């Protein structure tokens, strides 16, 4: 059964993705290639590096940098560089402020009167600003994208196999790798396996791996032990244990929702390599494309994903999180994202998704009710 998509849901709920195709600079403001700023992670932290005190960073009992704590990865910097910006890698201060103000306005779900949206959107997407926490700041480096490679700041082209998979995903046949089911008009899920992974509380929005800033719960807690590192995301309260010793890896046939993570230190950088993702998860969640509804959703299969994450503490208050996604069956080449995280004293609260997932029963009961009404009308 082919699904029919409505107009895209209220931009406010998913504006963190919509920002990636919004531009505050006019196309003629894009700089030439000679003016393009460096897009390496080294440049992300270059300003902080110049002010490091002697003996920095602080080290734990094993002699490794102490990266423990809670880290906030909220940002209004878009994942992809807006197409209108061409090869412009950095905003000017004025452009960054204009983009920031525009992003805040887009994210404001309490200020949508001028959009003349149907009332049903308030039912499907009943979130006001009280529940959302995108943040209000751009990254200090004023980059125009979180993607630092390719140099154009955008995701690589999808392979023919990935494009075919996106069309097949519309059938919603298990394994369903989409995160949500918003915007489907003829969708009557027979059971929970037909619903999105986040609707089922299996994986969650920004929780990854890899991490992607989103609408709320943009916090990561890191705990270090001699032979393990714990990466605990507030979203879906997912606890990923990174093994730091040289024990044998799991065989390829043993797959996990968040993969198997192995870590090692390269100088002062923690490098985490993750494989053995289950085929039930996607390779990546695409940013929202308002110009082409067919290019939204998830792509690829986690089974083909090779993920390398790098954590580098550059100051008492900043940790650079960088990751490289490699999946030749989905993207024509690897890509790298760099996100500066900020230290926070805020408390992480339990995200009791399964315990509070009352909507699951409601969605399935609603589907059965609609089927009965449709059958009665057909008599």
CA dihedral 140, 141, 143, 149 (to 10 degrees): -130
pLDDT of 99 reads 95
Give the integer Cα–Cα distance in Å for 177 and 197.
6
Q: How do residues 233-272 score in pLDDT, each as one tens digit?
A: 999 888 999 999 989 999 999 999 999 999 999 999 999 9
pLDDT of 20 reads 38
Residues 69 and 343 sit within 8 Å (Cβ to Cβ): yes
pLDDT of 290 reads 67
pLDDT band of 21, cuts 50, 70, 90: very low
pLDDT of 7 reads 42
Residues 178 and 194 sit within 8 Å (Cβ to Cβ): no
State the pTM of this model: 0.86
pLDDT of 113 reads 62
Q: How do residues 23-80 score in pLDDT, each as one tens digit?
A: 343 433 434 333 443 445 455 544 444 455 556 789 999 999 999 999 999 999 999 9
Give the integer Cα–Cα distance in Å for 287 and 9.
14
Asked if residue 130 has pLDDT above 90, the reply is: no
Please, how many CA atoms are within 13 Å of residue 221, restricted to the half-sphere of its CB? 15
Q: How do residues 270-279 score in pLDDT, each as one tens digit?
A: 999 999 999 9
Please, how many CA atoms are within 13 Å of residue 82, restricted to the half-sphere of its CB? 26
SS3 of 371, please? helix
229 closest CA partner among 22, 12, 58, 68: 68
CA gyration radius, the chain: 21
User: In Å, how far are 129, 169, 314 from 371, measured between CA atoms?
Assistant: 35, 22, 57
- Tell me the sheet residues that pair with 342: 72, 318
Q: How do residues 319-339 score in pLDDT, each as one tens digit?
A: 999 999 999 999 999 999 999
Asked if residue 225 has pLDDT above 70, the reply is: yes
SS3 of 166, please? helix
Q: How do residues 281-324 score in pLDDT, each as one tens digit?
A: 999 999 877 677 778 889 999 999 999 999 999 999 999 999 99
Residues 216 and 209 sit within 8 Å (Cβ to Cβ): no
Which residues make Cβ contacts (< 8 Å) with residue 304, sequence separation at least 6?
283, 327, 328, 329, 330
């Amino acid at each position: 059964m082919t699904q029919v998509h409505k107009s895209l849901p209220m931009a406010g709920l998913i504006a963190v993705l919509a920002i990636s195709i919004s531009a505050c600079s006019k196309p003629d403001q894009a700089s030439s290639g000679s003016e393009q700023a460096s897009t390496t992670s080294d440049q992300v932290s270059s300003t902080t590096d110049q002010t490091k005190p002697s003996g920095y960073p602080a080290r734990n009992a094993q002699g490794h940098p102490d990266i423990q704590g809670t880290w906030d990865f909220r940002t209004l910097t878009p994942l992809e560089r807006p197409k209108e910006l061409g090869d412009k890698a950095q905003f000017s201060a004025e452009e960054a402020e204009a983009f920031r103000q525009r992003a805040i306005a887009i994210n404001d779900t309490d200020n949508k009167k001028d959009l003349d949206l149907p009332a049903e959107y308030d039912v499907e997407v009943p979130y006001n600003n009280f529940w959302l926490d995108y943040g209000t700041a751009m990254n200090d480096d004023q980059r125009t994208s979180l993607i630092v490679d390719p140099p154009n700041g955008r995701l690589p082209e999808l392979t023919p196999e990935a494009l075919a998979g996106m069309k097949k995903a519309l059938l919603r046949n298990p394994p369903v790798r989409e995160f949500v089911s918003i915007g489907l008009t003829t969708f009557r899920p027979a059971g929970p396996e037909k619903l999105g992974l986040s609707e089922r509380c299996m994986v969650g929005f920004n929780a990854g791996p890899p991490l992607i800033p989103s609408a709320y719960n943009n916090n990561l807690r890191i705990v270090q032990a001699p032979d393990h590192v714990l990466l605990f995301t507030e979203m879906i309260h997912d606890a990923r244990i990174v093994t730091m010793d040289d024990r044998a890896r799991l065989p390829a046939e043993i797959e996990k929702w968040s993969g198997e993570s192995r870590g090692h230190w390269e100088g002062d950088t923690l490098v985490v390599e993750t494989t053995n993702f289950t085929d039930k998860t996607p390779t990546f969640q695409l940013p929202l494309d308002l110009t082409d509804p067919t290019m939204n959703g998830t792509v690829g299969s986690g089974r083909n994903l090779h993920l390398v994450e790098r954590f580098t503490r550059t100051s008492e208050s900043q940790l650079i999180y960088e990751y490289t996604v490699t999946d030749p069956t989905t993207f024509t080449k690897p890509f790298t994202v760099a996100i500066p995280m900020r230290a926070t004293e805020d408390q992480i609260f339990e995200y009791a998704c399964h315990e509070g997932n009352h909507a699951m029963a409601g969605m399935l009961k609603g589907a059965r009710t609609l089927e009965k009404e449709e059958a009665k009308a057909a008599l």
